[in-house]
Amino acid sequence: MSKLPNKWLVVISVLFGTFTVILNNSMLNPILPRFIEIFDSNAVAVGWILTIFMVAMGMTMPLTGYFGDRFGKKKVYLTGLFIFILGSLSGFFSSTLSMVIISRAIQGMAGGLMLPIAMALIFNSFPRHERGLAVGVYGVAAMVAPAIGPTVGGLLIQYVDWPWLFAFNIPFGLTGLILSAKFLERTETHPEKKFDLVGFLIISLGIGSVLFALGRGRTLDKLMDPLNLTLVVVGLLAIVLFVYYENRQDDPLLNLSVFKVPTYSVSIVVTSAASIGLFSGIFLLPLLIQNVYGLNEVMTGLLFLPAAAASGVFMSIGGRILDKKGPKYVVPPGLAIMALATLGLGMLNLSTPYWMILALNTVRGLGMGMGNMPATTSGMNAIPEHLVAQGSAMNNIIRQISSSLGIVFFSIYYEVRRAQISAGGDIDMQAATLQTLNEAFLVSAVVLLIALPFSFILKGVPDEDEKEA
């Protein structure tokens, strides 16, 4: 490993930590029904295992820009990874549902520190014309982990007790900690930097309220609950207030001037659409395979593995094309491929073979690899170097909200539309489920197609006016 250039050792180091965080979260998704039995609880209480992680991570992310500038990015990343390992140990030794939820909150805060800083560390180590490939390799963690997590979690729970789902993280986390301590480069610090406490409190209220409402609003009744509606309104008002307040600060918590850079703003639109596309598949495909075609969890898990591999391979290929040709040669084709494959998933029938669904999902993964991370890299390349950590934090926050919003929308659409179709009386539940899922995939494809024209605005080399933003 010592023969590798140090900049690639940085990528490998942060890849381990990021992969660990995202894999752990996706591993727990299919296991939630088991926790209801284990702790003799209900779906609402157990749902906190996912909700608290999402909320804690979203509320911590805005701090990463300040912490990175104040204490150094390496120190912040190592601290986050160490806290994540502690959260995993706490989860492993938990004996009650409350302790599991607290452990997940600790893991969420750690993930909120790590994910934005990881991207900033890579950008700090690579020149602009090499970042596409570097982020493409790193992005394997972000794209592959959600795809294989349910499979890994499902296999583990068949052979070991549930606490080992937390212990599974620890070797990867320790490896990442050792590599990061050795190979990450120290960055410049600014001890004089002041903390924007008011801004942090406002944005924490905004992000926390919205993510909490989305996390508990997976059905129409829950979404329209007065508490949920209040949380959404309060959250949106707090975010608007935050924008107003931060634009009047000399040293803001998040420098919102990055949104004046067209390429960065467009990259947010594109990656948000791609995230909705990704998580719509993660939510809808298990319902399709199990509820329509009657296949088991193993076959469901296998459906995602080729897609994950294709996504990882073409993420690196797309990154290299980005470095050499620019985003217009990789992001629009990636979105188009993903949209067309998603349209294919919207035209299935009861006799469609499994291999056809597998092939369509694999092509979706290919398009995702080409479209998502190259768009992110283009946007980050376009902003001033000293704002990379803050730009990464805002990218991650918006992508987190987009993913949550997508899952809530498709959950409610599935529930309401299936009931409407089956109420017609001339169609059985299997056919009603298939029609609902077909329509949902078509909606997902439309979201991707709407983002497609915007992707042509992305620029590989920032204009002078963008650099001065």
353-377 mean pLDDT:
93
- Percentage of residues of the chain with pLDDT beyond 90: 54
- Decide if pLDDT at 82 tops 70: yes
Residue 59 has a pLDDT of: 92
CB atoms within 10 A of CB 340: 16
Amino acid 1: pLDDT: 55
The yes-or-no verdict on residue 465 having pLDDT over 60 is no
Give the pLDDT band of residue 223 (cuts 50, 70, 90): confident
Give pLDDT tens digits for 162-206: 899 999 989 999 999 999 999 998 888 888 888 999 999 999 999
Placement of tokens 């490939």 in the chain:
133
Q: Reply yes or no on whether the pLDDT at 451 is more than 50.
A: yes
Q: What is the mean pLDDT of residues 72-83?
A: 95
Average pLDDT over residues 33-37: 82
Token pair 């609402």 is at which residue?
A: 44
Query: What separation in angstroms does the CA of 177 have from each of 74, 78, 117, 180?
Result: 11, 7, 14, 5
| Cα distance between residue 245 and residue 249, in whole Å | 7
Q: Are 118 and 18 in contact (CB under 8 A)?
A: yes
DSSP reduced 3-state for 162: coil
- Which amino acid makes up residue 427? I
Q: Which of 62-71, 117-126, 229-238, 457-466 has the weakest average pLDDT? A: 457-466
Confidence band for 403, pLDDT divided at 50, 70 and 90: confident
Q: Which two tokens stand for residue 416?
A: 């309401």
User: Which ranges of 61-190 does DSSP label H, i.e. alpha helix?
Assistant: 64-71, 73-92, 97-125, 131-159, 164-167, 169-183
- Model confidence at 221, pLDDT cuts 50, 70, 90, reads confident
Among 99-103, 298-302, 325-329, 338-342, whose mean pLDDT is lowest? 298-302
DSSP characters over 339-402 = HHHHHHHTT--TT--HHHHHHHHHHHHHHHHHHHHHHHHHHHHTS-GGGHHHHHHHHHHHHHHH
Angle, alpha carbons 373-377-383 (nearest 5°) = 150
Dihedral sign of CA atoms 78, 80, 81, 85 in order? positive
CB atoms closer than 10 angstroms to residue 305 = 17
pTM of this structure: 0.86
Tokens of 181: 């301590």
pLDDT at 2: 54
Which among 329, 313, 220, 331 is positioned nearest to 269, based on CA atoms?
Answer: 331
Whether the predicted pLDDT of 463 surpasses 70: no
Residue 320 has pLDDT above 60, yes or no: yes
Quote the mean pLDDT of the chain. Answer: 88
Sequence-distant (6+) residues with CB within 8 A of 367 are: 314, 333, 334, 335, 336, 337, 338, 339, 340, 341
pLDDT bucket at 85, cuts 50 / 70 / 90: very high
Over residues 119-132, the pLDDT tens digits come to 999 999 999 889 99
Percentage with pLDDT > 70 across the chain: 97
Contact at 8 Å (CB) between 170 and 88? yes
Instruction: From 421, 445, 416, select the one nearest 434 (Cα to Cα).
Output: 421
- Percentages helix, strand, coil for the chain (3-state, rounded to 5) are 85, 0, 15
> In 346-373, which positions are buried (b, 16+ CB within 10 angstroms) versus exposed (e)?
bebeeebeeeebbebbbbbbbbbbbbbb
**Averaged pLDDT for residues 461-467:** 44
**What's the 3-state SS for 49-75?**
HHHHHHHHHHHHHHHHHHHHHHHCHHH
Contact 207, 62 (CB under 8 A): yes
Q: What span, in angstroms and rounded, lies between the C-alpha atoms of 280 and 289?
A: 14
pLDDT digits (tens, 9 = 90+) for 429-444: 889 999 999 999 999 9
Asked if residues 146 and 282 have their Cβ atoms less than 8 Å apart, the reply is yes
Structural contact between residues 97 and 37, judged by C-beta atoms closer than 8 angstroms? no
Lowest mean pLDDT among 12-16, 25-29, 411-415: 25-29
